[in-house]
A and B are shown apart, each in its own frame.
Chain A
Amino acid sequence: MAAEETFEHHSYDVVVIGAGGAGLRAAIAAHDAGARTALICRSLLGKAHTVMAEGGIAAALGNLWPEDNWQVHFRDTMRGGKLLNHWRMAELHAKEAPARVYELEQWGALFDRTQNGKISQRDFGGHRYARLAHVGDRTGLEMIRALQQRAVSMGIDVFMELTITDLLKDGANVAGAFGYWRDSGRFVVFEAPSVVLATGGIGKSWKVTSNSWECTGDGHAIALRAGATVLNMEFVQFHPTGMVWPLSVRGLLVTESVRGDGGILLNSEKRRFMFDYIPEFFKAETADNIEEADRWYTDKTNNRRPPELLPRDEVARAINSEIKAGRGSPHGGVLLDIASRRTPEFIRRRLPSMYHQFKELADVDITKEPMEIGPTCHYMMGGVEVDPDTQASVVPGLFAAGEVGGGMHGANRLGGNSLSDLIVFGKRAGEYAAAFAAGLGSARPKVAQADVARFAEVALAPFQESAVKENPYSVHRELQETMQDLVGIIRVESELKEALDSIAALSARAASVSVEGNRQYNPGWHLALDLRNMLLVSEAVARAALERQESRGGHTRDDYPMTDPYWSGQNVVLQIGADASSSSHSALAVRRQALPKPPPELAELLEELH
């Protein structure tokens, strides 16, 4: 039926795929640079996963602690990432985040204020000073609205509820993108020499996740199929605090602000267990007794940080260990207590959506009782390998920013560094994508009609009659179980191999997925197409996890429990071989690549203790 269809065509200089923080910021930058820009989102505008970010945007504004500056932020980010970050991205991020935050204020964002009328900042794990600009615990909503309203006022063309399935190429270069309208199911061809991927994360391949349905790793998979390289895919962040009860909301995020604002973690014996889990790497900067930890909230100069505010990988592993040791809460988590630490007024003012969320979904009043929490799949540190300054991938014309980009966060991301990542590198990606398109002049790549026909055929495959009718929802559920059970917080070679076998079997089944109904707003069909991406990305994660034989940040190997100095200089890079059209799992090639070393003046900052 594809052959008879006339496809809708659009021509732009820059096409931005994804309209969360990074996509919106990239589109604004590309438009500002004079490029004809299209912004494409799978959901309605303003619903992207950025909207769920709670705690804040990390930026060394120095509004509460004048001692704070970009050097300290850089150091914290690199140490939090276990020194596996691309130093140049961490440097640019720390330097540019303040300007990007003020830009949001310039466009109408209303952050919470300090006594003297500046943007207030809050404490978060791994940050030496109170650094996160925030609005209660709904900072992501504020960011996405400010950017959305800016983009709309500029008149940028927005394509809502449109899914891109693949990139079109002309030789080595990007030539455009192919997709379908979710409401009509009709195909659309975008011709554009520059494409910015800003598609976010991959959490939907795990059973317990804080991520929305959109986080299916589309950008990671699209980039791989287009010939780009991805790195650091073994580093998946399990946020320490997701809801565990009721089952219906298992995995839903409980902001780190609860701990930043004074909350503590307790096991079933009411013991503040984090003091038992302070790693050597952070000993010098972490309080080893309750008194010092509690004094830190008001006096950061003379006290060290409470262990509850260690980076997320450390806290998630500690919680996991407590639960495994039989010291968990009734529903298989641990307790997060702020009720006994702060007044009800303080909690309701600082954490309004947490109060609302627990009250309405779990019948728990967090001003009176502790929350039950446990780790939840939250964030993908890995992503498309990009040039740190321009966000360009190895495919000419293809850029990536935000969670789909790789390198910035190394082995573990600090809380608050995601929202700042979006706006710092979103802007850079948009600018350089526009410049790349302008630099081509009239020598623009051309879309090959054969590719368009082929992508249409792939997209329609689930409507084909097949002997075995697989239900896409069942395949998805089984993939989630595989990743949860075998590629979770703690990994081991035998299970990773088992996961790869399971993914291969599921990929075969996904090929015979068959959907009922027609092309009009058909979620079964949409999921069938998303599955292809989830399976490819899941395989990339498992392969990278198998390759890295050490434990570091978000990657913990039971069979290699120590950090290995050899691996501190290595990235695991994946790329699909010659047959780029294939989504076959066997096409993924894994290799090791030396990590660039920071120049001496930045390396020095990493050695400094306070």
Chain B
Amino acid sequence: MSYELKLRIWRGGPSGGDLKDYVVPAEEGQVVLDAVHHAQATQANDLAVRWNCKAGKCGSCSAEINGRPGLMCMTRLSTFAEGEAVTITPLRAFPVIRDLVTDVSFNYQKARHVPAFRPSADQPVAPFTMYQTDVERSQEFRKCIECWLCQNTCHVVRDHEENKPHFAGPRFFIRYAELDMHPNDDLDRKKSLQQSEGLGYCNITKCCTEVCPEHIKITDNAIIPMKERVIDVKYDPVVRFLGRRGRS
């Protein structure tokens, strides 16, 4: 396969912009980021795009590809029909800095709110004795590459800027879940999770799970269990609807 690919890339800044067309050669095995890089190197040297590893490990190159949030480095051109134009726009939930680069500082502010890991009084100093079966649940959440796709997709903030101050978002719900399920952490963060981080806003539509490039089961394995765990702290209509399902 080798054909002329039509790219439509959003160019602009905080005050506005529009889609610009670029035609680049598409080769076998290429991903969207290759096409964007080709356009950048040959036709638009100043095209702003974030990327680092180009291997799905760093989570820098998140964008909306034909309207679907994803990593440009893990979206293969073979997933589109030859002749189909590929449209790339910046993440919608965050303010544009330039072209495909958005201001994701919201996420770094939220990260500062999470109370750090605190070892239990039983085992205050590493090395800790912990078993594989007990660390596995938290390990799933530590696979997170912080691409912010879940934060971008979550409808609580995607079109509701006003919710941002009171809502940490799916990435940080799994961070709270990870610490809560850590076999040697004994700090209770449930109250802040429910009262200031906005866990109750989530009505488990699973949009976050769908876009996670690491296939973390954000809703089923983190958010729902955490909603069950905080029920003692505060009323949550979703848990009432689901009923308590016996996981502690």
Q: Interface residues, chain A, CB within 8 Å of chain B?
A: 43-49, 51-52, 61, 102-103, 105-108, 110-113, 116-119, 135, 138, 141-142, 145, 149-150, 152-153, 160, 183, 212-214, 245-249, 252-253, 353, 356-357, 360-362, 471-474, 477, 515-518, 520-525
Contacts and interface: CB of A to CB of B under 8 A. Distances in A.
B99 A521 contact: yes
A145 B179 CA distance: 13
28 contacts: A44-B108, A46-B146, A51-B58, A61-B127, A106-B126, A117-B130, A118-B127, A135-B142, A138-B57, A145-B142, A149-B116, A153-B116, A160-B108, A212-B52, A212-B54, A247-B29, A248-B34, A249-B29, A360-B56, A361-B56, A473-B41, A517-B46, A518-B46, A520-B13, A521-B99, A522-B48, A523-B47, A524-B40
Contacts of A51: 52-53, 57-58, 145
Interface in B118-144: 119, 125-132, 135, 138-139, 142-143
Contact of A117 (B41, B59, B131, B145): B131
A150 B125 CA distance: 16
Tell me the dominant secondary structure on chain B's binding face.
loop
Contacts of B142: 110, 135, 141-142, 145
A201 B130 CA distance: 35
A521 B115 CA distance: 33
Given A46-B146, A110-B135, A360-B56, A521 B129 contact: no
A427 to B, nearest CB: 15
Given A110-B135, A473-B45, A362 B99 contact: no
A43 to B, nearest CB: 6
B233 interface: no
B93 to A, nearest CB: 16
Contact of A212 (B58, B111, B114): B58
A211 to B, nearest CB: 9
A152 B112 contact: yes
A520 B182 contact: no
Contacts of A522: 46, 48
Closest 9 CB pairs of A and B: A246-B29, A517-B46, A524-B45, A108-B117, A153-B116, A473-B41, A105-B126, A117-B129, A106-B126
Max count, chain B CB within 10 A of own CB: residue among A45, A145, A160: A145
B101 A361 contact: no
Contact of B127 (A105, A108, A362, A523): A105
Nearest to B107: A44
Nearest to A50: B58
Contacts of B50: 43-44
Max count, chain A CB within 10 A of own CB: residue among B29, B99, B138: B29
A213 B127 contact: no
A213 B51 contact: yes
B27 interface: yes
Contact of A45 (B31, B57, B108): B108
A373 B83 CA distance: 32
| Chain B contact patch, size range | 35 or more
Max count, chain B CB within 10 A of own CB: residue among A471, A515, A524: A524
A213 to B, nearest CB: 6
B19 interface: no
B76 interface: yes
B104 interface: yes
A110 B182 contact: yes
Nearest to B138: A110
Given A213-B51, A245-B29, A247-B29, A520 B57 contact: no
B28 interface: yes
B49 interface: yes
Contact of A523 (B46, B114, B128): B46
Given A52-B57, A248-B30, A524-B46, 6 more contacts: A46-B146, A47-B52, A142-B142, A246-B30, A361-B76, A523-B46
Interface string B16-54: 000000000001111100100000111001111111111
A48 B128 CA distance: 28
Contacts of A213: 51-52
B46 A516 contact: yes
Contacts of A471: 41, 45
Nearest to B38: A473
A353 B52 contact: no
Contacts of B60: 43-44, 47
Nearest to B34: A248
Interface in B79-94: none
A255 to B, nearest CB: 11
Nearest to B115: A153
A233 to B, nearest CB: 24
Nearest to B104: A44
Contacts of B132: 112-113
Max count, chain B CB within 10 A of own CB: residue among A183, A246, A521: A521
A152 B111 contact: yes
Given A44-B60, A110-B135, A356-B56, A102 B127 contact: yes
A284 B34 CA distance: 47
